[in-house]
Amino acid sequence: MQPIVIAPSILAANFARLGEETHNVLNAGANWIHFDVMDNHFVPNLSFGPMICEALRKDGVTAPIDVHLMVSPVETMIRDFAKAGASSITFHPEATLHVDRNIQLIKDLGCQAGLALNPATPLNCLDYILDKLDLILVMSVNPGFGGQSFIPSALTKIRDIRKKINETDLPIRLSVDGGVSEKNIASIYEAGADTFVAGSAIFAKPDYKHAIDSMKQAVSL
Ligand X SMILES: O=C(CO)[C@H](O)[C@H](O)COP(=O)(O)O
Active site residues: 36, 177
**Residue 146 labelled as part of a binding site:** yes
d(CA 136, CA 89): 11
**Residue 187 labelled as part of a binding site:** no
**Residue 199 labelled as part of a binding site:** yes
Select from 53-61, 173-181, 188-196, 208-216 the region that touches ligand X (CB under 6 A). 173-181
**Residue 147 labelled as part of a binding site:** yes
Long-range CB contact pairs, 107-114, < 8 A, 24+: 107/132, 109/78, 109/79, 109/82, 110/82, 111/81, 111/82, 111/86, 111/87, 112/87, 112/88, 113/88, 113/89, 114/66, 114/68, 114/88, 114/89, 114/90, 114/173, 114/175
Q: Which does 30 bind (CB under 5 to 8 A by kind): ligand X, Fe ion, none?
A: none
Q: Which of 58, 47, 49 is nearest to 22 (CA)?
A: 58
Within 10 angstroms of residue 129's Cβ, the number of other Cβ atoms is 15
> Shortest gap between Cβ of 156 and ligand X (angstroms)?
19
Query: Which residue number, 105 or 211, has a Cβ lying nearer to ligand X?
Result: 211
51-77 b/e (C-beta count within 10 Å ≥ 16 → b) = ebbbbbeeeebebbbbbbbbbebbeeb
Residues 187-206 that bind ligand X (CB under 6 A): 197-201
185 binds ligand X (CB under 6 A): no
Query: Which residue number, 36 or 39, has a Cβ lying nearer to ligand X?
Result: 36
Residues 52-81 that bind Fe ion (CB under 5 A): 68
Q: Which does 200 bind (CB under 5 to 8 A by kind): Fe ion, ligand X, none?
A: ligand X
Looking at 21, 66, 134, 177, which residue binds Fe ion (CB under 5 A)?
177
* CA 178 and chain centroid, separation: 9
Looking at 50, 85, 178, 192, which residue binds ligand X (CB under 6 A)?
178
Q: Which does 136 bind (CB under 5 to 8 A by kind): ligand X, Fe ion, none?
A: none
The DSSP-derived string for 139-162 is ESS-TT-SSPPP-TTHHHHHHHHH
Looking at 52, 73, 144, 187, which residue binds ligand X (CB under 6 A)?
144
Residues 6-65 that bind ligand X (CB under 6 A): 9, 11-12, 34, 36
Which residues lie near ligand X (CB under 6 A)? 9, 11-12, 34, 36, 68, 70, 141, 143-148, 177-180, 197-201
Q: Pick out the residues of the known binding site.
A: 9, 34, 36, 68, 144-147, 177-179, 199-200
